[in-house]
Structure 1
C-alpha cells in the first residue's frame, strides 16, 4: 500500500479549490471567529422584532457559508490520510473552534423561540427565504432547553464527536494488518484491500483466508471499539432524555422528519419478505461456484468472475456519460467537470478512509472519495457517489444554505437512483445472455445486496442495540457480537453458514456514529427503484419530475419529495413492489444461468 505522497497526482482530488494555501485556510478560520464575535455583540439579547430576526438570520447565513469550506477542507484532508499528523491537528483545531462558535451563537435559536410566534410569522413574510429555517426552529420548541444549557451543550460539540474520531483512529491508524498466506504464497492485507478486493476474490481459498486474517485483526480491537461505541450511544441517550423525547429513536428520527412507522416498516418487511429471495441468490452462487458449503465469507463473490472486465478510471468516465445520459445536458456537464477538475479521489493509499462517500460543500463543487481497484462493479459505486454529487449540485444551485439539504431518510434516493439508471442503460444495450446475467447479478450483488441487505441488517442490529440503551442498559463486545450473529442467522437461515468472524462486521461500519442512518439506504433505494421504473416507462416526463425533486433540496419532507416523484411511501406498497422486483431479478438470474449451462453443453 502506497503512502499518500507516492500516489499519482491525477488520481487525487484537488482541495485547492477550497483553499489554495494553508495561509488562506488560517485567515478564513480567523475571520469566522471574528464574525461570530460581531454577531454576538450586535444581536445577543436584542432580537425583539421581525426585522431583527431577518437581520440576524442573514448574518448567520453569511457566516455559515464561510464555515463550510473550512470544515470541508479539514475533513477531506484527514479522510485522504488519517495518519497525517498535520491533518489530525487541523481537524482537531477546527472542531474546537466550531464548538466555540456554536456555543457563542446558540442564543439565536433560544431568542427566536422566546418571541411571540406572530413575530416569527411576520419575519417569514419579510424574508421568505428563511421560512423553512424558521419552521424548523419552531419544531424544536418542545425539546429546547434553557439558553444556558443549550450554550453548554454546544460548547461540548467536539467532545461529543470524540467517539467517532476514536473509532476512525482505531480503525485507520492503529489497526495494522499482517500479510496472509495461502499455499505458501503471501498476500498483502489492509482495510481497503479487503473490502475492495479480497472480499470479492473468486479464488475460494484466498478469499476465505483473507476473511479469517481480517477477522482475526478486528477481534484484537473489539473491546476498545465496543467501549467507544457504547460512549457514543450514551451521549445520544442522554441528549434525548434531557430534551424530553420519549425514546432515543424519537430523538434521532426527529431530524429525519419521519415517524417510527416508516422506520420499523423498512426493517421488518425486508427482514421477513426479502430473506427468501436472497437465500435463493446465495444458493445460486454456491451452485455456480461449486462450493461444498456457502459461508458468510462467500456472499460478495461475483456470479461470473471470469466475465467481469477490468476498466480504467478514464473508461469509467464514458460509462458515467452513457449510463446517466437520460439525466440531461446540465447533468452531463457536471459529470465531465468531476473528471476534468479532479473532484474525485481515486487513489489507494495508507490511512485513507474506507468505502466511498461524497462531500458536497455549499458554494463549492462536490468531492468524492473512492479507492479504485479497476473492478467493473465500481462503475456502480462511482455512479452512486455521483448521484449524491448531482443531487447537491442541483439543490445548491436552487436553494439557500438553510434549505438545500433534505432529510437523511431521502439522502440515499438520488445515489441509488444512479445505480438503477446505469443498470437500465447496460441492459438496454445488449442481448448477450452472459452480459445480461453479469449486469443483473451486479445489481443484486452491488446495488441491492449492499443497500437493501448489508445496510438493512446493520439497521436491524442497530435497532436492537438502541432498545438496550433505551432501557438504561449498556453494550460491550460480547453483546454486540451476539446481536450481530443473531441478525445474520435469522436472515440467512440454513442457506449460509455464519462463519466465525462474521459477528464482528459491526466493527466495520462508521454509519453507527451518524444516528439512524443504515436503514435509510433501503428507504432511498425503494424510492429509486420505483422512479427508475417510471423513467423506463414514461421517459422524459419522469426524468423532469425527478430533476425537480433534486432541485427542491430540503424544503419538503421525505413523504412530500417521494410524492413529487410519483411514489407514496406512506403505504407499504412501494417497498413490497421493490422486494418483488428483486425477486424477479433473481428469477432472471436463475433462468439465464440455466440457458448458459445448456449452451455450454451444446
Structure 2
C-alpha cells in the first residue's frame, strides 16, 4: 500500500530549523510600534524639503544623517515582515503585516523623495566646498556622487513624489507572481522509486528529476511543467505588466531603455552585458559537449531533457543532513582564515537560517542583510549535496553582508548585485575544490563532485545567459509596442532553449515552464549578473585556494568594501578587470578543464 508524503505545516517545523526573528523584534506588535515611529521621523525630515542648499551645508548634513537612521530602521522593520510572510505565504496575519510594512515603505519613500532632486540641483563648487568644510559630510561623499550621476534622470520633486506614491502599484506584478508561484501553485503527486505517492514541490523536485528511474524523472518534469502551462496566460500577463512598468519608468526618467536604467545605477557599461552574451554564444560548444558526455556515459539514445539531471556516478552520493552540510561548509572555509569562519559559526549557532521546507514557504533560497542585526538566510533543505552548495552560496552572501556591515557605514554596507553574486559563487568554487581534495582517491566521488562543478558552470553561466537573452529581448519587444503573450514568449523561449541545449538534447513538454518559473525576471536585469559573477568568482577563488600571495587579503578587503565604490573599481582592487571579456574566457577555460577531467574518469576518450 502506498504512503502519501506531505509537507509539514509551519508549526510542525522544529525550532532549530527556523530562523530566530526575535533577533529583530520580540513580536509583531513591537515591530509595528517601531514602524510607526520611523514613519513619524520621515515626516519630520520632510520639513527640510526645499532647504537642503541652506545653512552652509549643515541642513544637508542633518538631512543625510536623519535619512540614514530612517533607512536603517526601515530595513529592520521591512525585513522582519518580509521574513514573516515568506515563512508561510498562506498565513493571513503575516501577509497583512507585510502589507503594512510595504505601505509604510511607500509612504517614507514618498515623503523623502524631495532629497534626490535637491541634491542633484546643488551647485558643484558649493558642494565641493561643503565636503571640505562641514565636519561629518565627507562620509556621504560617494553617496552624493551616486545621486548626482543620475542628473538628467532624477525628476522634479512633485514628479518623484508621484512615482513614489505609485511604487506599490508599479511593483504589484512581482507580488502577484510570488503569491501565485509560492502559495497557489500545486504540482500534484507522483510515484517515487518505491511506488509511493509523494507530493511534488519546488523544494523536492530535484530529488525526482535526478532519479535513476527514468519513469520517475519523466513524471516529475512533466508534472512540474503542468500548472505553469495551465496558467501560462496569467504568467505572461504578469510578466508583461512588470516589464511594461520598468520600461515606462525608464522612459519617464529619460533613459533609452530599461536595461540602461538598471545598469547605469551601478555604473555598469551595457557592453558588459553584450560581451557576456557574445562570449558565451562563442563557447556554446562546451555546453553541448557536456550533454554529449552525459548521453554517452548514460547510454541513452534518444537523450531527453528529463535525462539531464541523472548523476553520472550512478547514484546520489554524498547525501548530507543540514548539520553535516554546515560542517562541510565550515571545513571547506578553513582556507578563508579565522575571522571568516567565526562569522560562519555565528550564522550557524544563532539561527540566522530557516532551513526546512513547509507548506506555504517561499521556494528557492536567498539571503538578506539587516544592518542593525545580522543576515538571514532562507533555504528549502533536502539531504542532497546540492543543498550544501546552496548553503555555501547563501553563506557567501551572508558573510559579504557581515563583513561590510562591520567595516562600512550603513549607506555603503549593501553591495550592488553585480558584486554580491561574486561572494556567493566564490564559496561554491571553494567547496568544490575542498571536496575534490577530500575525496581525491575515490573515482566515483570525483565524478560526482566534478559533475556538481560542471552543473554550476552550466546553470550559472549558460543558463543565466540564456535567461539574459530572453529577458533583454522581452524588454525590447515590449518597449517597441508588442504585448508579451504566452504564445510569443513560448516561441521566443523555444528558440533559445534549442540553441543552448544543442542537437544532443531532445526537448519534451511545454515551452512555458522554463520562462514562467524564473522569479528573477521580476528583479529587473538581475540574471546576467549570475553569469558574470560566476566567472569573476572562478578567478578569485582559484587564487585564494592556491594561496597566491595577497589573494586572501584582497578578497577579504573586497567583502569589507560593500558598496563603498563602483563595482568596476572594487573588482579591480581585488584583481579582476571586467571591462573586457578575458575573465569570461578564463572561466570557460576552467570549465573545459573540468570536462577533460570527467571525460578521462569516465573513460570516454
Superposition TM-score, scaled by structure 2 size? 0.95
Structure 1 counterpart of 2:273, from 255, 263, 284: 263
**CA shift for structure 1 position 470:** 2.7
Structure 2 counterpart of 1:70, from 45, 57, 77: 77
- SS of the aligned residue for 2:285 comes to helix
Residue-by-residue CA offset, 1:300-328 (whole Å, 9 max, x unaligned): 33222425122111111211111011111
Aligned 8 A contact 1:124 1:134 in 2: no
**CA shift for structure 1 position 503:** 4.2
Please give the alpha-carbon distance, in whole angstroms, between the structure 2 residues aligned to 1:559 and 1:381.
26
Please give the alpha-carbon distance, in whole angstroms, between the structure 1 residues aligned to 2:181 and 2:316.
34
Matched, 1:548 2:554: no
Please give the alpha-carbon distance, in whole angstroms, between the structure 1 residues aligned to 2:255 and 2:65.
31
Of residues 250-259 and 28-37 in structure 1, the stretch that sits farther from structure 2 once superposed is 250-259
Are residues 289 and 189 of structure 1, via their aligned partners in 2, closer, same or farther at CA, if it must alter by over 3 Å? farther
Are residues 94 and 590 of structure 1, via their aligned partners in 2, closer, same or farther at CA, if it must alter by over 3 Å? same
Aligned 8 A contact 2:426 2:534 in 1: yes
Are residues 89 and 490 of structure 1, via their aligned partners in 2, closer, same or farther at CA, if it must alter by over 3 Å? same
In the TM superposition, 1:213-362 aligns within 5 A as 213-273=223-283, 275-306=284-315, 308-362=317-371
Corresponding residue of 1:12: 18
Please give the alpha-carbon distance, in whole angstroms, between the structure 2 residues aligned to 1:187 and 1:128.
63
**CA shift for structure 1 position 87:** 1.1
**CA shift for structure 1 position 540:** 5.6
Structure 2 counterpart of 1:30, from 13, 16, 36: 36
Corresponding residue of 1:157: 167
Corresponding residue of 2:3: none
Aligned 8 A contact 1:344 1:367 in 2: yes
Structure 2 counterpart of 1:2, from 2, 8, 12: 8
Aligned 8 A contact 2:425 2:537 in 1: yes
Please give the alpha-carbon distance, in whole angstroms, between the structure 2 residues aligned to 1:481 and 1:553.
39
Corresponding residue of 1:560: 569
Corresponding residue of 1:441: 451
Please give the alpha-carbon distance, in whole angstroms, between the structure 2 residues aligned to 1:321 and 1:185.
37
Are residues 264 and 189 of structure 1, via their aligned partners in 2, closer, same or farther at CA, if it must alter by over 3 Å? farther
Aligned 8 A contact 1:296 1:502 in 2: no
Corresponding residue of 1:600: none
Corresponding residue of 2:150: 140
Aligned 8 A contact 1:409 1:520 in 2: yes
Please give the alpha-carbon distance, in whole angstroms, between the structure 2 residues aligned to 1:385 and 1:79.
16
Please give the alpha-carbon distance, in whole angstroms, between the structure 2 residues aligned to 1:192 and 1:178.
11
Of residues 114-123 and 358-367 in structure 1, the stretch that sits farther from structure 2 once superposed is 114-123
Please give the alpha-carbon distance, in whole angstroms, between the structure 1 residues aligned to 2:546 and 2:28.
51
- Alignment: residue pair count: 594
**CA shift for structure 1 position 204:** 1.4
Corresponding residue of 1:174: 184
Residue-by-residue CA offset, 1:67-105 (whole Å, 9 max, x unaligned): 111110111111111111111111111111111111111
Corresponding residue of 1:499: 508
Aligned 8 A contact 1:545 1:564 in 2: yes
Corresponding residue of 2:199: 189
Please give the alpha-carbon distance, in whole angstroms, between the structure 1 residues aligned to 2:371 and 2:413.
8
Corresponding residue of 2:222: 212
Aligned 8 A contact 1:43 1:56 in 2: no
Corresponding residue of 1:573: 582
- SS of the aligned residue for 2:32 comes to helix
- SS of the aligned residue for 1:130 comes to helix
Corresponding residue of 2:122: 115
Please give the alpha-carbon distance, in whole angstroms, between the structure 1 residues aligned to 2:327 and 2:555.
23
Please give the alpha-carbon distance, in whole angstroms, between the structure 1 residues aligned to 2:431 and 2:448.
13
Superposition TM-score, scaled by structure 1 size? 0.95
Structure 1 counterpart of 2:97, from 85, 90, 94: 90
Aligned 8 A contact 2:173 2:238 in 1: yes
Aligned 8 A contact 1:310 1:376 in 2: yes
Aligned 8 A contact 2:52 2:60 in 1: no
Please give the alpha-carbon distance, in whole angstroms, between the structure 1 residues aligned to 2:212 and 2:282.
30
Are residues 461 and 46 of structure 1, via their aligned partners in 2, closer, same or farther at CA, if it must alter by over 3 Å? closer
Are residues 264 and 87 of structure 1, via their aligned partners in 2, closer, same or farther at CA, if it must alter by over 3 Å? same
Corresponding residue of 1:80: 87
- SS of the aligned residue for 2:377 comes to strand
Residue-by-residue CA offset, 1:146-170 (whole Å, 9 max, x unaligned): 2101000011121122000100111
Residue-by-residue CA offset, 1:262-303 (whole Å, 9 max, x unaligned): 011112211331x21121211222222232222222223322
- RMSD, aligned CA: 1.8
